[in-house]
Structure 1
Amino acid sequence: MAHIALYRTWRPQSFKDMVGQKHIVQTLQNSLREGRFSHAYLFSGPRGTGKTSAAKILAKAVNCQNGPAVEPCNQCEACLRITEGAVMDVVEIDAASNRGVEEIRDIRDKVKYAPTEVRQKVYIIDEVHMLTTEAFNALLKTLEEPPGHVMFILATTEPHRIPATIISRCQRFDFRRVALDEQVERLREVCSNEQIEIDEDALAFIARLSDGGMRDALSLLDQIIAFSGQRVSYEDVLSITGGMASDQFEKLVTAIQDKDFGAALRLIDDFMQEGKSADKCMENLIYYFRDLLMVKMVPGSGAVTERIVDVKRFSEVAQRFTSESLIAMIDTLNYYQTEMKYSVQPQTLLEVAVMKLCTQVGGPVAGSGSASVVQAAPERQDGLVVQLMGRIQRLEDQLAQLMKQGIAPAGGSPAPSGRAGLGGTGRQASAPAVVKKIEKLDAFLQGREDAAFRGVLQQWSQVLGRVKELKITVHAWLVDGEPVSIHDGRLLVAFKSAMHRETTEKPANKQLIEQVMNEVLGQPYRLVTVMMKDWKAASDQAGGAEAPKEELQLVAEDEQSGGGREAWIDEAIQLFGEELVKIKED
């Protein structure tokens, strides 16, 4: 006989079999006992918590030939046939695939007919939030005033997507995540009946991974049994689920505390060699530090420590850190976990995150008995501040010297009157900035006519299409840009929007675009960006527009004023760097 999945074999067939929903079971049983059941129910809650099972049990309870009763007998013909799904008057509908108005109109037309096989016609609509607005409208009137022989049971994981007019016509029951100890007890019962030997810590680990969903726990147990056979160990569970034992994380935390970069990186490499994924390692590491924080801040609460098998061992590790340092490390890991979603090298980000933790940890709290207290971090920070202040001072001195010579930053104040040689307007203040932009783009201006660039233009739509396939959000930013030139293995893209340009320049996004360009164009181009207005200004100036005349007048004024062109050129090189300044003789 073919194997039947454990979650189907152990699906509750009566209210007493349900796990972790005592508040709902008691309310429904009281209603059945008193004969006060409603015409419409809404069951909402996380996946795998028993919503559809409770709906089927309720349908059996109201139609049981020995009832209505607080429990279906599961012996009469009505109970047996409802369990098999063979009763035409008990209809289970998947709203995810039957979400249109026509399907709901069909229900509305049929509810007026009396049941033919059982006493109560029951419609179970699963994932009801998937219905369209028109379908909800078609259901509304029928749900408000159905015939006395009809009962609707709506099940959903997203009740916020259901119109309030529908919810107000139902009795709502919120299913909760199943508690860890209840899950463990149920898994133990299943293993006992299936003649499976399993370690207690393995049961607890499976329950923690299921995140409160009983169905997820049974599915995971089924998969592990297929791997291990009749004897399941804790190591088997870790192997099949990709999880990591807490002692492995304890070694990693010790390396972080000791600022032992080598040991930390070796442990990460071991995780990868064992087949663990970087994102799973990051997630588990965040959970581990969360558990340390909870044990430290609320040591006696079972609600926050039920995830932990060995609370005493966690407490010993937690004593090495302050609460503030644990919170800071969780923040750091959370930041890199977010960045990891957009990275093509997640392992590198995991390694960077761990090294970041090594640098920011301040050592253990006083009295912990460890000798790994490191006070170098504040000193390094003080030294960095001194360096930055020195650089700022040097830049201010250079700026003051240039201002004395009549050269101001773009958009700044005009130069002193003795240097304003452009009709007294002071417009020469912006000339150096214009010169910088033009000289910087000079090589790209020549690359516009390159045959290779014409090939890039022809294939640019393919680049955009491939980027869209890999990550549609990056495509939304990149589509604002337009390739304008190539030079020395670099592709220049001009953007109309500064925000689009900045987002495209983010390392993860830029890496993805360059990867696609290499794949589509067949050459490893590096992405360089510029604002479209700056590119057009440079193009106009190179083509003989008014801006070059300003530069020529400025040079002539320098020569007439006796200041000497060589001094001005020296200052330009000092300000912008020798690689950005080219001297042209006219």
Structure 2
Amino acid sequence: MSYQALYRVWRPQRFDEIVGQSIITRTFKNALITKQISHAYLFTGPRGTGKTSAAKIFAKAVNCHFLKDGEPCNECETCKAINEGSLNDVIEIDAASNNGVEEIRDIRDKAKYAPTQADYKVYIIDEVHMLSTGAFNALLKTLEEPPTNVIFILATTEPHKIPATIISRTQKFDFKRIKPQDILSRMEYILDQKKVAYDDKALKLIAKAAEGGMRDALSILDQAMSYGDNQITYENALLVTGSVTNELLTTYMQQVVAKDTKSALITIQKILDEGKDASRFIEDLTSYCQDILLYQQDPGIVEEMELGVIDDQFKELSQKITDQEIYQMISELNAISNSLRYTANLDVYLEVLTVKITHLEQPKSTSSAPAAVHSTNQQAPSPETTVEIQQLTQEVDRLKAEVESLKQQAGSTVETPAVSEPAKASAPALDTHIELAKIYPILGQATRKQLNQFKEIWPDLMNALSVTQRAVMHVSSPVAASEGGVIVAFEYPFVYQKAQGDSDLKDALENNLDRIVGKVPQIVFVPENQWPEIRHDYLANHRNQLKGKKAGSNDADPKPDSTDDADERPADDAETQPVVKKAEELFGKDILDIKND
């Protein structure tokens, strides 16, 4: 027989062999033991986490007559036929290539017939999010009232593309990314069974490169075995994955922190000369910065994630660099990563990146008065002097803020068209990925009271998140809220992009909000630097709508509202008054500065 890939040979055949999904497998075994079997299941999660394998094992278990503790025997005729793919009552369908209405109608018609060999007819539909709208509609009625002895198992990597009507008719199981430690243990077991020599550091590198997918890990391991003639060495693993050694990353970061541009450029050239992939280097460097940021918050979680490769140099480096510098570095790395996709001059971009991050501006908060005192007095200040310095610093900051506020007010009152045009031209363009269709309905019902409620429970919500999720949400805050939704602004655009693509983070926020406030509002993310523009555009559109409503209501009831403050506002402000009321509801009276056009 021809050679088979490792992920095919070592595909799990029992629930206990599925790596990293113990909660899901325990639920299935208990359901099989107690005969509490549903008619439809939805498996969601990243690629290579065991969705299809779990579906096949469940199909075996539900039809096996020799179950033991909820596990299939894998020895009876039914189990063997399912393993070989020859049982007609277990049907696997790839929705990517069978996504039309006719294919689903064919399934619906054949599902009416009783199983021929097994107790249950099981349909496994992989990548179900690829079905067309018509195909989903054809499947809907069958999922709602399925025939007897028919089970549907739907698997997908993109659950947000599945209609809510389908999800509500299934039991949903979320397969999580597999921990590197679990991937490492599984690879060690397989190599021990195959009697293949391996380097521990090589397996740790592969486990990290797999990014939570068992199948990806075994595919990389297969490549490393072929390259190394059935030996897994650290050098071979580096070549196969295209990764940069941890020592080289540490050296580069030390040079960056020391502002040694020349040495950092030499290191970059060395990396390129070794044939390393530039995009992979950017990913490794971003991950390294993330590890430093997390290590500053909780050293234990990083040591667990990195499988013990944290050394003394890494610990020393994490003490020298500030979180603000890391934020700036990750922002530059993200910008370079996007540029590398459209260029062949990779070395130029990496050299420009090196020069930029070795000349980052120091955070302003670390300088100022304390530094000045240190320069004039070499002795350590007394506690009384320290308190006085802090009070003076706070007073200076307060006066600076008042001066800036007065300057802005003075500038706005004498503003001329010649000054206003450049201001409009310099306004930042909105990000096309911002979900305005979700933001505007929330703003339409938003109130200051709802926003204050979310701000009150925000610390409790942050404490309920994991350390990794808390590190992402650390630079965010709610800026507008209604009964059914909340808008959260992020201080840094790259953190906004990371949060926007993190479905696990949104699920955690919704679940904890449900626990804290008893409801699940819609959560929408925005970058903080674009929030004023979004708010301004909404109020402008809202003003036009209110003008139309005002004109229509004057015919029916020309009397002014008795609650209006006519004596406090000019008469020509009647049309803008609804906009003022809406702004007061959204942002509160204390921060409004009302002026006539």
Q: 1:233 to 1:67 in 2, by over 3 A?
A: closer
Q: Radius of gyration: which is bigger?
A: 1
| 1:185 matched residue in structure 2 | 185
1:166-225 Cα offsets, whole Å, 9 max, x none, are 111111111111111111110100110111111111111111111110111011101100
Letter in 2 for 1:14: R
Question: TM-score under structure 1 normalisation?
Answer: 0.60
- Write the mapping of 1:184-583 to structure 2, written as runs, cut at 5 A: 184-302=184-302, 305-306=305-306, 309-360=309-360
C-alpha contact 1:294 1:304 (8 A) present in aligned 2: no
Mapped to 2, the partners of 1:304 and 1:247 lie a distance apart of: 19
C-alpha contact 1:305 1:311 (8 A) present in aligned 2: no
Mapped to 2, the partners of 1:412 and 1:11 lie a distance apart of: 70
1:426-480 Cα offsets, whole Å, 9 max, x none, are xxxxxxxxxxxxxxxxxxxxxxxxxxxxxxxxxxxxxxxxxxxxxxxxxxxxxxx
Identity %: 48
Task: Point out where structure 1 has 5 or more consecutive residues left out of the alignment.
Answer: 367-374, 376-410, 414-586
Letter in 1 for 2:89: D
1:4 aligns to what SS in structure 2? coil
| 2:516 matched residue in structure 1 | none
| 2:15 matched residue in structure 1 | 15
Please state if 1:127 is matched with 2:122: no
1:122 aligns to what SS in structure 2? strand
Mapped to 2, the partners of 1:150 and 1:301 lie a distance apart of: 44
1:152 aligns to what SS in structure 2? strand
| 1:144 matched residue in structure 2 | 144
1:296 aligns to what SS in structure 2? helix
| 1:71 matched residue in structure 2 | 71
| 1:563 matched residue in structure 2 | none
Shift of 1:249: 1.3
Shift of 1:361: 6.4
Mapped to 2, the partners of 1:103 and 1:67 lie a distance apart of: 34
Shift of 1:261: 2.5
1:250 aligns to what SS in structure 2? helix
Q: 1:38 to 1:265 in 2, by over 3 A?
A: same
Mapped to 2, the partners of 1:253 and 1:224 lie a distance apart of: 28
| 2:117 matched residue in structure 1 | 117
Mapped to 2, the partners of 1:210 and 1:412 lie a distance apart of: 57
Shift of 1:340: 2.7
1:559-579 Cα offsets, whole Å, 9 max, x none, are xxxxxxxxxxxxxxxxxxxxx
1:369-410 Cα offsets, whole Å, 9 max, x none, are xxxxxx9xxxxxxxxxxxxxxxxxxxxxxxxxxxxxxxxxxx
Letter in 1 for 2:212: G
Q: 1:279 to 1:120 in 2, by over 3 A?
A: same
Q: Please, which moves more after superposition, 273-282 or 104-113?
A: 273-282
Shift of 1:64: 1.1
Shift of 1:287: 1.3
Mapped to 2, the partners of 1:265 and 1:302 lie a distance apart of: 28
Letter in 1 for 2:266: R
Mapped to 1, the partners of 2:52 and 2:37 lie a distance apart of: 18
1:319 aligns to what SS in structure 2? helix
Letter in 1 for 2:281: C
Mapped to 2, the partners of 1:300 and 1:74 lie a distance apart of: 41
Shift of 1:68: 8.8
Mapped to 1, the partners of 2:176 and 2:418 lie a distance apart of: 63
Shift of 1:230: 2.7
C-alpha contact 1:297 1:323 (8 A) present in aligned 2: no
Mapped to 1, the partners of 2:331 and 2:168 lie a distance apart of: 41
Mapped to 2, the partners of 1:317 and 1:126 lie a distance apart of: 46
1:343 aligns to what SS in structure 2? coil
C-alpha contact 1:256 1:361 (8 A) present in aligned 2: no
Letter in 2 for 1:223: Q
1:300 aligns to what SS in structure 2? helix
Mapped to 2, the partners of 1:69 and 1:128 lie a distance apart of: 31
| 2:51 matched residue in structure 1 | 51
Q: 1:41 to 1:347 in 2, by over 3 A?
A: same
Q: 1:194 to 1:43 in 2, by over 3 A?
A: same
1:289 aligns to what SS in structure 2? helix
Q: 1:218 to 1:59 in 2, by over 3 A?
A: same
Shift of 1:336: 2.2
Shift of 1:338: 2.4
2:99 aligns to what SS in structure 1? coil
C-alpha contact 1:296 1:315 (8 A) present in aligned 2: no
Q: 1:412 to 1:203 in 2, by over 3 A?
A: closer
1:347 aligns to what SS in structure 2? helix
Letter in 2 for 1:217: A
Shift of 1:357: 1.2
Shift of 1:292: 1.9
| 2:104 matched residue in structure 1 | 104
1:117-148 Cα offsets, whole Å, 9 max, x none, are 11111100000110001011111111111111
| 1:162 matched residue in structure 2 | 162
Letter in 2 for 1:288: Y
| 1:520 matched residue in structure 2 | none
Q: 1:293 to 1:304 in 2, by over 3 A?
A: farther
Letter in 2 for 1:86: S
Q: 1:208 to 1:295 in 2, by over 3 A?
A: same
C-alpha contact 1:45 1:158 (8 A) present in aligned 2: yes
Letter in 2 for 1:54: A
Q: 1:93 to 1:289 in 2, by over 3 A?
A: same
1:544-567 Cα offsets, whole Å, 9 max, x none, are xxxxxxxxxxxxxxxxxxxxxxxx
Task: Point out where structure 2 has 5 or more consecutive residues left out of the alignment.
Answer: 367-374, 376-416, 420-597
1:153 aligns to what SS in structure 2? strand
Shift of 1:308: 5.6
Could you list the runs of 4 or more consecutive aligned residues of structure 1 that deviate by over 3 angstroms after TM superposition? Answer: 300-308
Mapped to 2, the partners of 1:311 and 1:299 lie a distance apart of: 12
C-alpha contact 1:257 1:361 (8 A) present in aligned 2: no
Letter in 2 for 1:248: L
C-alpha contact 1:91 1:124 (8 A) present in aligned 2: yes
Letter in 2 for 1:64: C
C-alpha contact 1:295 1:305 (8 A) present in aligned 2: no
Letter in 1 for 2:7: Y
Letter in 1 for 2:269: D
| 2:565 matched residue in structure 1 | none
Q: 1:63 to 1:262 in 2, by over 3 A?
A: same
Shift of 1:18: 0.8
C-alpha contact 1:62 1:68 (8 A) present in aligned 2: no
1:359 aligns to what SS in structure 2? coil
Shift of 1:93: 0.3
Mapped to 2, the partners of 1:322 and 1:135 lie a distance apart of: 53
C-alpha contact 2:303 2:309 (8 A) present in aligned 1: no
Letter in 2 for 1:224: A
C-alpha contact 2:294 2:302 (8 A) present in aligned 1: no
Mapped to 1, the partners of 2:133 and 2:30 lie a distance apart of: 34
- For the aligned residue pairs, the C-alpha RMSD in angstroms reads 2.3
Mapped to 2, the partners of 1:170 and 1:70 lie a distance apart of: 21
Matched residue count: 369
Mapped to 2, the partners of 1:254 and 1:302 lie a distance apart of: 19
